Amino acid sequence: MTTMKSTAPSAALPLGARLQKLGREIIRLRWAYFFVAPFFLLYLVFGFFPQLFSLFLGFTQWKGLGPITFVGLANYEVIFRDKVFWQAMANSVIIFFMHVPLMLFLALVLAVVLNSKRVRGLPFFRLVYFLPYITNKIAAGRTFGLLFSSDRQGLMNYFLSLFGIAAVPWMDNIWTARIVLCLLIMWAWVGYNMILMLAGLQTINPELTEAAMIDGASAPQAFFQITIPLMQPILLFCLVMSVMGTFNLFSEVYTLTAGGGPMNATLTPIIYIYNKAFGDFRLGYASAVSYVYFIFIFVVTLLQFRYVSRED
Amino acid sequence: MTRHHTLQRLVAITMFVVIAVSACATPTAAPQTPIVITQVVQQTQIVQQQVVVTPTAVPQGPKPKGEITIWMWKAAEDPIKNSGVEAAFNKEYPDIKLNWVTYGTNDVYQKLPLALSAGTGAPDVALVEDSNLAPFVYLGGLSDLSDRVKTYQTQMNKYKWDTAMKDGKYYAMPWDSGPVVLYYRRDVFKAAGLSDNPDDVSKLISTWDDYLKVCQTIKDKTGVPCFMSNKANNDARLYEMMLWQQGLGYYSPDGKVTIDSADNVATLEKLGEFWKAGLLSDEASWGDPWYARFKSLDITNTVATHVEAAWMGGNYKTWIAAEAAGKWGVAQMPTMKAGQARSSNDGGSSFVIPDQSKNKDAAWAFVEFITARVSSQNKIFAYADIFPSFEPAYDDALFSEPDSYFAGESVRQYYLNASKIVPTGYVYGQYYSDMHGKVQTAIQKFSTGAASAADALKEAADAVRTDTGLK
């Protein structure tokens, strides 16, 4: 970044001189380049190359071994008729609306509570809320599977049975399975969002709220009129991360609902891509799907940024 | 203001408790591992068996040596080790060092294609379930075993070769088969006033229509469900056995998709009659509630029957329902139409040798020793009910021995008779993963009432046609 900044004013110079200057800058900052190089080298091999290669694979049929057959746009044409893929996309939208608004609200409330100077043991609570986020998602998925086991041995059904409620077959019903999945995601991610929001809250001058309260604003008014607007960049960031997080769900679904059941109700695009590539050995098609999916996420993220910055 | 803090504290504490409680609920038991075919974990009953060692092919030339790596799941590895077959191998091939790598079945299916594709990292020998075999054979990267298996072509269950071949070449060596029988609870049949004699039960339930009637009787007299079949997460395995029994499947011999054929639709509708009559119990396969019914001694909590392969008997006696010894019986499976073969296949496994193996001779020596030796096959069969695909093994007293777990019935005779008449099925194949997944969803939609059998299967078939390019 420094190089770009320093070369920018010299745009009027002839090309040779500009390159010379750039070279000098690179030599001057050689240690900086040296230290950032490992990331870029690894990214080139494990990130950039696979991305380009899968763009190419999207136009082919390939099992991962043997001949690569060029098929033009055939894969992309199939995607638009692929009901299961579009169901996976729809699932993600449904699951997103089922949990993200509630999760972000909870995270914000928690952050505000923990931001209060009167709560003692802040590091302890912060750690506790953050723990689920760093807990292995496979273990969490398995545990939720046991908690919500369909029979009476599941803790949740045992709990319900104490009140005389019949055992709920959580994983055998489209909506209950989605609810359990949402509970798992919220449990795992509320702490992460809370930490981000707590960091955001700590940058807000408390005098603003205090001044408003002196002027007669109630606590909820101060929260909604002052805190939330000032938190908007953080909220946007959390929202964008949650959109991607929901569409990218993998481990949770893989362990909790055996990869998308019942009846594909919890199937996510990433699980679908994985199944096509490594279950059916259809790497060409899976690559095409990942590009369609990438464009979708890219556009949604772009819209989110546009929408929120216009609000400002 | 004070009230405000109290509220804040209350919220913080409540949230803390909620999260702490859920965080504390880490699994105390090991997570359930998906259990797949030929799976027998422990052995409680070791059948002492004198087996005459009659090597069918004496290896010629210098014996191979070196180290070979073997990928296999525990339920297959343990019987080889614990039945003394490994020791026998080491004695015969002292210069081959076996490097065992224990993987779950799914781990094998995830790692093997990557290793084959990468051209490095594959083992010398891998065990693959038959359902997953054809996709690997068509993927490539396996050695052509045509010359090596030539001797055994006519000695293995014929249908086992169907998924091991591509373009007339052989890429796998069969180990075990999954001939299907009808398991039934003797105590339930008696309580319903029916005979619990295997021959009588075979006669009584000779078609799926008989099966429905008998189950209705059992339900009326005892309230016990006919069998377990989960609706929303149905695994399609029973449906596949029903198709295979009729010589049907997901594709025709000339490679057309038959998922929505009239026969397939009729088969699913037959299964639907059981649901409609309220005869089935909804436990999902391979979960604790499912095991609980198999092992329950109290007949009100058990299940009357279960259609499954020979390896299931081993599962019952060793770990699923050891406590229900003497309660189970084995009869012939029912057919869709009278007069059809009373047999099908579910599961079974075969060995492959990846092309990148540097020691194929040693790898083959191992594979051959396990699969094509009467003594090895029968030691393992006696130990864990892994039914030999190798037919010369059948000529053994072991096959007529009474089995105390099954109330002294000679169940191996039933397995054997079923194995001899398994029709050619078109269930497993190179597109199995895709077809199986879509048919599962179709059955789930049908059983939960979201679609008719014809519509659900049509949707699955069309999707498979789009995916595979088959007609």
Q: What's the pLDDT tens digit per position in B333-375?
A: 999 999 999 999 999 999 999 999 999 999 999 999 999 999 9
Question: In Å, how far are A230, B218, B330, B343 from B189, measured between CA atoms?
Answer: 73, 7, 12, 22
Q: What is the DSSP letter of B370?
A: H
Minimum CA–CA partner of A172 in chain B: B232
Please, what is the average pLDDT of chain B?
88
Residue B288 is nearest to which of A106, A147, A151, comparing CB atoms? A151
pLDDT of residue B388: 96
Residue tagged 């914000």 (tokens): A108
Kindly list the residues from chain A whose CB atom is less than 8 angstroms away from the CB atom of residue B467.
Answer: 78, 280, 282, 285
Is residue A12 pLDDT above 70, yes or no? no
At B5, is the pLDDT very low, low, confident or very high (cuts 50, 70, 90)?
low
B159 CA: distance to closest CA in chain A (Å): 23
Q: Is B140 touching A (CB cutoff 8 A)?
A: yes
Specify whether the CB–CB gap between A139 and B27 falls below 8 A: yes
Say if residues A89 and A289 touch (Cβ distance below 8 Å): no
Q: Highest mean pLDDT range out of A113-117, A158-162, B277-281?
A: B277-281
Contacts of B22 in chain A (CB under 8 A): 132, 147, 187
Under an 8 A CB cutoff, do B230 and A172 touch? yes
CB atoms within 10 A of CB B405: 23
For A62, name the nearest residue in chain B, comparing CA atoms only. B139
pLDDT at residue B9, as a whole number: 52
Q: Residue A129: which of B4, B19, B459 has the nearest Cβ?
A: B19
Buried b (16+ CB within 10 A) or exposed e, A291-308: bbbeeebeeeeeeeeeeb
Q: Is the pLDDT of residue A312 over 70?
A: no
Backbone angles phi, psi at B208, to 5 degrees: -65, -25
Contacts of B141 (CB under 8 A, 6+ apart): A65, B116, B117, B119, B122, B354, B355, B356
- B467–A114: do the CB atoms touch at under 8 Å? no
Q: How far apart are CA B233 and CA B423, in angstroms?
A: 28
pLDDT of res. B11: 47
pLDDT digits (tens, 9 = 90+) for B204-233: 999 999 999 999 999 999 999 999 999 998
Contact across the interface for A153 and B23, Cβ inside 8 Å: no
The Cα B354–Cα B111 span in angstroms is 13
Peptide bond into B113 cis (omega under 30): no
Phi, psi of B260 (to 5 degrees): -105, 20
Lowest mean pLDDT among A160-169, A216-225, B58-67, B143-152: B58-67
C-alpha torsion A55→A59→A63→A65, nearest 10: -70
Region of poorest pLDDT, from A117-126, A195-204, B31-40: B31-40
d(CA A6, CA A26): 11
What is the CB-side half-sphere exposure of residue B160 using CA atoms within 13 A?
32
3-state secondary structure of A17: helix
Residue with the larger pLDDT of the pair B371 and B289: B371
Q: What angle do CA B174, B177, B181 make, to 5 degrees?
A: 170
Which element (helix H / strand E) includes B72?
strand B66-72
Q: Do A63 and B140 touch (CB under 8 A)?
A: yes
B-chain residues within 8 Å CB-CB of A277? none
In this prediction, residue A237 has a pLDDT band, given cuts at 50, 70 and 90, of confident
CA distance A271 to A274: 5
State the pLDDT at residue A206.
82
Return residues 287-326 of B near A (CB < 8 Å): 287-289, 292
Average pLDDT over residues A187-199: 92
Chain A residues in contact with B232 (beta carbon < 8 A): 169, 171-174, 261-263
For chain A, say whether B20 makes contact (Cβ under 8 Å): yes
- Shortest alpha-carbon distance between residue A296 and chain B (Å): 22
Interface of B with A in 95-114 (CB under 8 A): 110, 113-114
Cα(A76)–Cα(B426) distance, rounded to whole angstroms? 30
pLDDT of amino acid B199: 96
Identify the CA nearest to B179 among candidates B376, B387, B390.
B387
* Euclidean distance between CA atoms B243 and B429, whole angstroms: 14
Put simply, the answer to whether A82 touches B8 (Cβ < 8 Å) is: no
The pLDDT score that the predictor gives to residue A293 is: 94
Using a CB-CB distance cutoff of 8 angstroms, which residues of chain B are in contact with residue A278?
Answer: 110, 113-114
Lowest mean pLDDT among A123-132, B67-76, B153-162: A123-132
Q: Chain-centre distance of CA B46, in angstroms? A: 22
Asked if B338 has any chain A CB less than 8 Å from its own CB, the reply is: no
B13 touches chain A (CB under 8 A): no
Say if B341 is an interface residue toward chain A (CB within 8 Å).
no
Rounded distance between C-alpha atoms, residue B199 and residue B5, angstroms: 77
Res. A43: pLDDT tops 80:
yes
pLDDT at site B38: 40
User: For helices A283-311 and A49-57, what crossing angle results, to 10°?
Assistant: 120
Q: Which of A168-177, B173-182, B399-408 has the lowest mean pLDDT?
A: A168-177
CB contacts of B33 in chain A (<8 Å) are none
Confidence check: pLDDT of B51 > 70: no
- Strand-pair partners of B165: B170
Q: What is the ipTM of this complex?
A: 0.79
For the cut 60, the answer to whether the pLDDT of residue B92 exceeds it is: yes
The C-alpha atoms of residue B314 and residue B78 are separated, in whole angstroms, by 13
Of A113, A261, A279, the CB nearest to B233: A261
Helix, strand, or coil (residue B73): coil
Give the DSSP letter string of B244-304.
HHTT-BSB-TTS-B-TTSHHHHHHHHHHHHHHHTT-EE-PPTTSHHHHHHHH-SSGGGS-S
Total number of residues shown for chain B: 471
Asked if B434 and A78 come within 8 Å (Cβ–Cβ), the reply is no
The Cα B119–Cα B31 span in angstroms is 33
Interchain CB contact of B141 with A (< 8 Å): yes
pLDDT tier, B54 (very low <50, low <70, confident <90, very high otherwise): very low
Mean pLDDT, chain A, whole residue set? 88
A164, with CB counted inside 10 A (0-12, 13-18, 19+), is exposed
Q: What pLDDT band is residue B26 in, cutting at 50, 70 and 90?
A: very low
- What would the two tokens of residue B418 be? 């079923």
pLDDT in the model for residue B32: 38
Residues of A in contact with B15 (CB under 8 A): 106, 110, 129
More confident residue, B353 or A225: B353
Give A297 to chain B, closest Cα distance, Å. 24
C-alpha distances (whole Å) from B19 to each of A115, A125, A132 are 19, 11, 8
Residues of B in contact with A279 (CB under 8 A): 433-434, 437
Structure tokens at B13: 């504490």
Contact criterion met (CB < 8 Å) for A142 and B282: no
Q: B interface mutation test: which of A87, A113, A156 has the most B CBs within 10 A?
A: A113
Of A63, A131, A157, which to mutate for an interface test with B (greatest number of B Cβ within 10 Å)?
Answer: A63
Residue B36's pLDDT is: 39
Using DSSP bridges, classify how beta strands B280-281 and B328-332 pair: parallel, antiparallel or unpaired: unpaired
The nearest alpha carbon in chain B to A138 belongs to B31
Q: Which of B351, B288, B272 is nearest to B70 (CA)?
A: B351
Contacts of B166 in chain A (CB under 8 A): none
**Are the C-beta atoms of residues B418 and B342 closer than 8 Å to each other?**
yes
For residue A149, which residues of chain B lie inside 8 Å, CB to CB? 287-289
Token pair recorded at residue A83? 């009901």
DSSP helix, strand, coil percent of chain B (3-state; round to 5): 50, 15, 35
CB-CB neighbors (< 8 A) of B25 in chain A? 143, 146-147, 155
Tell whether B445 is within 8 A of chain A (Cβ): yes
Look at the block and give the residue holding tokens 């490097």: B99
pLDDT of residue B17: 42
User: A-chain residues within 8 Å CB-CB of B459?
Assistant: 83
Interface test with A, best of B3, B11, B235 (most A CBs within 10 A): B11
The minimum CA-CA distance between B35 and chain A, rounded to whole Å, is 13
8 Å CB contact between B257 and B461? yes
Contact residues on chain A for B141, CB-CB shorter than 8 A: 65
- Mind telling me how many Å the CA of B84 is from chain A's nearest CA? 35
Residues of B in contact with A123 (CB under 8 A): none
Q: What is the mean predicted confidence (pLDDT) over A65-82?
A: 92
Contact at CB, B15 and A110, closer than 8 angstroms: yes
Separation of alpha carbons B397 and B83, rounded Å: 18
